[in-house]
A and B are shown apart, each in its own frame.
Chain A
Amino acid sequence: MRTDELIDALAADAGPAPGGVPARRLALTTLVGGLIALALVLLGLHARDDLAEAMATRFFWMKAAYTAVLGVAGFWACERLARPGASGRKAFWLAGGVLALYFALALFRLMEASPEARMPMIMGKSVMHCLGSIVMLGAPMLAVALVAMRDLAPTRPALAGFAAGLFSGAVCATVYGLHCGENAMIFVSAWYTLGVLLVGLLGALIGRWALRW
C-alpha cells in the first residue's frame, strides 16, 4: 500500500482519540484496582478488629497518608511515562522525598524508644503476611495498570512498568492499612515500602516485554 493511501484511511478516522487522555485512563485504573483490593481486604483478610479506635489515632492516618502520597507519585509517574518524550523524574523525586521523610520520622521515633523495645518495633508480628498481602493485593491492579499503559504510549517499558507497580503497590498498601494492626512507624517504613517496591519490581519485569506497542 502506498503511504498516501494509508494517510487517507487515517484521515477518515480524524477527530478526538477515543478513550480519553492518560489521566482519565489512570483514574479508572485507580478505581478498578482499588476496589478489587478493597473487596479482597474486606472479604478475604477482614478489617482489623480495633479499626474504629485505630482511626482515632494520628498514626493510622500518617500511615495512610504515606502510602497514599506514594500512590499519587506513582500515578504522576505513569501519567508522564505514558507520553513519548516526557520524563517521570519529578514524580520519582516526590516518591523518594516522601520515602526519606517518613523514614526519618520513623527513625526518630525508634531512637526515642528503649533499646530493648526497638527490635520488636521493627519486626512487628506480621512481616511476611504484610509483604505477601501487599504483593497479592497489588498484583490485580498492576495487571489493570499495565493494560492501561500499553494502550497509551510508554517509550521506556521497564521504567513505565516500575511506575505502574509503584502506583498499584502504593494504592493497595493504603487499602491494606485497614487490615494491618501494626502500630510502629518503622514497621511501615521498612516493610510497607519493601512491599510496594516489590510490586514495582514485578511491574518493571513484566513491563519490559509487555509494554511494547
Chain B
Amino acid sequence: MTDIETEMKALMLRGLAGDAPAYRQCLALLGVRLRAYFTRRMSGAPGDVEDLVQETLLAVHLKRATWDPSQPFTAWAHAVARYKLIDHWRRGRIRQTLPLDDHAEFLAAEAHDPGVGIELDRALASLPDRQRILVSDVKLAGLSLAEAGARAGISEGAAKVALHRALKSLAERMRRADR
C-alpha cells in the first residue's frame, strides 16, 4: 500500500522538477487507479468513466501547486478524484454521498487498458486552431515541446505558455460539457 505512495510521490517530485518521463509515469499510475476508482462508483456508462479520468488528470496537472510535498501525494490525488466525482454527480443532479475513508482502496487498483474519452475530443475540437494543433503535436509521443513549437513557429518558452493555456481551457470546457 505505502509502496505505491512512495513510488508515486518520488515520481511526482521529479515531475515538478521538470522530469517529463517521471511525470508521465506518475500520471499513468494515477490514471489506472482513477479508472478503477470511478468504475466501482459509476454503474454503467464506461464512456463517462474515461471522461472523468481524463478530467481528473487534467485537474491534477493544473492544480498541482495545491499539493503540499510534505503530505502524501495519493491522499491529495484521492481528494481531487473524490471532488471530481461529486462534482460530476452534482452536474448530473445525482445526489450521492462518498465515504472519506476509502483511501486504502484508492491505492489498490488493478490494471486496465487505457481507455478512450469522448468529451476531451469535443473540448479539443472547440479550441482555437493554434492551441489545438499544439496539443495534438505533443500528445503524439516523441514530439517535444521544442519541436512542436518549432512546427508552430514559436519558441519553446512560448509553446510552454500556449500549451498551459490550452490545457486550462480544455479543463474548463470539459467541465462545462456535461452541465
Bound complex: CA A84 to CA B175 (Å): 18
Q: Is the CB of B175 within 8 A of A212?
A: yes
Q: Is the CB of A152 within 8 A of B163?
A: no
Please report the number of residue pairs spanning A and B whose Cβ atoms sit closer than 8 angstroms. Answer: 135
Residues of the A chain whose Cβ atoms lie less than 8 Å from the Cβ of B58: 6, 10
Is residue B1 contacting chain A, with contact meaning CB distance below 8 A?
no
Bound complex: CA A15 to CA B31 (Å): 19
Residue of A nearest to B81 (CB): A84
Is residue A56 contacting chain B, with contact meaning CB distance below 8 A?
no
User: A71-91 CB contact bits vs B (8 Å, 1 = yes)?
Assistant: 000000000001111100000
Bound complex: CA A16 to CA B53 (Å): 22
Q: Is the CB of A1 within 8 A of B54?
A: yes
Residues of the B chain whose Cβ atoms lie less than 8 Å from the Cβ of A86: 68, 71
For residues 136 through 166 of chain A, which have their beta carbon under 8 Å from a beta carbon of chain B?
Answer: 152-153, 155
User: A170-213 CB contact bits vs B (8 Å, 1 = yes)?
Assistant: 00000000000000000000000000000000000000000011
Q: Is the CB of A2 within 8 A of B65?
A: no
Q: Is the CB of A84 within 8 A of B66?
A: yes
Is residue B10 contacting chain A, with contact meaning CB distance below 8 A?
no
Checking B53, B67, B139, B164 against A5 with a beta-carbon cut-off of 8 angstroms, the contacting residue is B139
Residue of B nearest to A25 (CB): B65
Q: Is the CB of A13 within 8 A of B66?
A: no
Give min CB distance, A154 to chain B, whole Å.
Answer: 9
Give min CB distance, A165 to chain B, whole Å.
Answer: 20
The DSSP consensus for interface residues of chain A is loop
Is residue B5 contacting chain A, with contact meaning CB distance below 8 A?
no
Give min CB distance, A127 to chain B, whole Å.
Answer: 39
Q: Is the CB of A11 within 8 A of B23?
A: yes
Residue of B nearest to A1 (CB): B120
Q: Is the CB of B76 within 8 A of A84?
A: yes
Is residue A3 contacting chain B, with contact meaning CB distance below 8 A?
yes
Which positions in A face B, CB cutoff 8 Å? 1-22, 82-86, 152-153, 155, 212-213
Closest 3 CB pairs of A and B: A85-B79, A84-B79, A17-B65
Which positions in B face A, CB cutoff 8 Å? 15-21, 23-24, 27-28, 31, 35, 50, 53-54, 57-59, 61-68, 71, 75-76, 78-80, 82-83, 87, 114-117, 120-121, 124, 135, 138-141, 144-145, 148, 160, 163-164, 167, 171, 175
18 more A-B contacts (CB under 8 A) besides A1-B139, A9-B163? A1-B124, A3-B116, A7-B57, A9-B138, A9-B167, A10-B61, A10-B167, A11-B21, A13-B160, A15-B15, A16-B16, A16-B17, A17-B65, A83-B67, A152-B66, A153-B83, A213-B59, A213-B63
